[in-house]
A and B are shown apart, each in its own frame.
Chain A
Amino acid sequence: MHTLLDKTIPPQKKHSPFTIPNSQFPRVLLAHGGGGQLTDSLLNNHILPHISNPILNDLLDSGILPTTTNRLAISIDSYVVTPWKFPGGDIGRLAVSGTINDLAVTGATPLALALSIILAEGFELTHLDAVMASIATTAKEANVRIITGDTKVVAHNQADGIYLTTAGLGSIPHSTNLHPSQITTGQLLLLNGPIADHGLAVMLAREFPDVTTTLQSDVAPLNHLIHTLMTEHPNAITFMRDPTRGGLAGLCADLARQTRLHITLDESAIPIRHEARHAADMLGLDPLEIANEGKILLTVHPQHAQQVLQTLRSHPLGRDSAIIGQIDKAEHTPDAICELRTLIGGRRIIHKPYGEQLPRIC
């Protein structure tokens, strides 16, 4: 055996020859699509610089366009989930709910959707029928119509079955102002139910198709719930966002960075199903980093928090709502972080995930 340790430590260097600027990734990686730090890098280095403008730069779930009467919200999202059908939902329900939720969390009432379908040669038409039926049912549930659309077909090996894109238009009353800039010290964080169900249901369906599980995606249109909240508590809520890709961890880490305020989450208060905790454990994944599709995180003035919680809990999509954290009493600082008070009373940082969720070895 050779010498275990030589005790020479290389001198501290500020810049190592290994530091490679943005060209570190010469090609698109799967992780660029994971909603984590690599997605940020894709947006900041390759997409936003070309089309930057004040509305886009806000990076809200919808772009908000001022008009003479009220404001218009526009949102668009693509859906490429595999498998197209999973416990609790399918790509159709996802495509309608996702865009409606992106409109609704900015305070917009969804007015209409546009739908674009990319089909791969060979995709079974009975499956397309099932997806369209699901789109119709979900749109009806949300009371939003699809008023325009497009279809394209590509060769067998150029796409995986079916991809959907939905764009949505919504209307925001002038009195509504949901924005990260409204978040201040002392406000509380509310969540409308258990985390990680969607990401785990899809992952289990994809990787372990033979495993039976009670886990179901939480995908649902949240516009009615949000409408009720905004009507009953017009001055209580300062910001909303849905913790989809990147999970609660990605969202909270982003919020801390954007607001420059410390956030503390209380692990014991974050709702999670027993099955989800175990499935995540088995896959070696952190439930906080797993995607949700029917969840909203709200920041609320502390004096209104209990009433908002009551309203959330009285709605079928918010029965298990909880106050899960708070904006700490700390100065604005560029080093603001989101911290988790753990189940055993310890502390750790909540970090934005990398991008691709990788199962561990043992």
Chain B
Amino acid sequence: MTKTAERRRVTKAAAHQVPAPPPVRDSRRRRLTDQLRAYGFLLGGLLCFALFSWYPAIRAVVIAFQKYTPGSPPAWVGTDNFTRVLHDPEFTAAWRNTLTFTLLALLIGFAIPFVLALVLNELRHAKAFFRVVVYLPVMIPPVVSALLWKWFYDPGAGLANETLRFLHLPTSNWSNGADTALVSLVIVATWANMGGTVLIYLAALQSIPGELYEAAELDGAGLLQRVRHVTIPQTRFVILMLMLLQIIATMQVFTEPFVITGGGPENATVTVLYLIYKYAFLYNDFGGACALSVMLLLLLGAFSGVYLRLTRTEGDA
């Protein structure tokens, strides 16, 4: 209520000889204290967001155009950082690897959980067992799964090659071969993360009304036709959402290449985030690291924007 409206109400009340409402100044003071109190509750959270989310986002853009060394005053260098980073042979390798990784993770890491969830949804026994077991690797710290698979991929007594030998199949270099390293890492990431995808997709499958399947069956639809014409259209939204989430997550992959391959062999597994880390902590080139971060940020921000728009429209519907 505005000040004048408040005053008018007060005078009117006084004219009618009703017990006087609190004077203007009191109610204004109360509104002020209400606001102060509200911001008191908000303060801690706001400070943390300002310091660790908003400010770094602005700084990433600023430092991308600066020569920045901690301890000495930064100098503006225009687009030098971007040109330097763009001419780094590792830059092309990192983006190629990250995009290949994301694509492979979609092919392997998305098809497998999808089929697995479909099958699990048909099983009537030991449901809790399956859900716990498939989610177990997610709860193992990512560093441990990476080290575990590094050991499996060991060319000597590693479990991966031992299994191939046991099956009389030719052995592989796994993470140590330039052409197999990236796939090997995708396998690790899929093993470690598919539990979440399976559980979310499983929940979506359970929300499909049974009548739809019955109707399709009466129309003579076979198993695969029912999957194609009932299951997939009914869960289209969740599939799309999970895909976008997975793209966003896999484009930021770091732990697996850092722990298992160290970016090698021959830069075959250097990812964009790994390169950002190298620029900052090996080359001490924070300008270059921020230029790279801004590029990654723009791309991932676009994906996130699509994701948020999708979830929001679905929420409104």
| Chains A and B bind each other | no
Q: What is the interface of chain A, defined by CB distance below 8 A to chain B?
A: none
Q: What is the interface of chain B, defined by CB distance below 8 A to chain A?
A: none
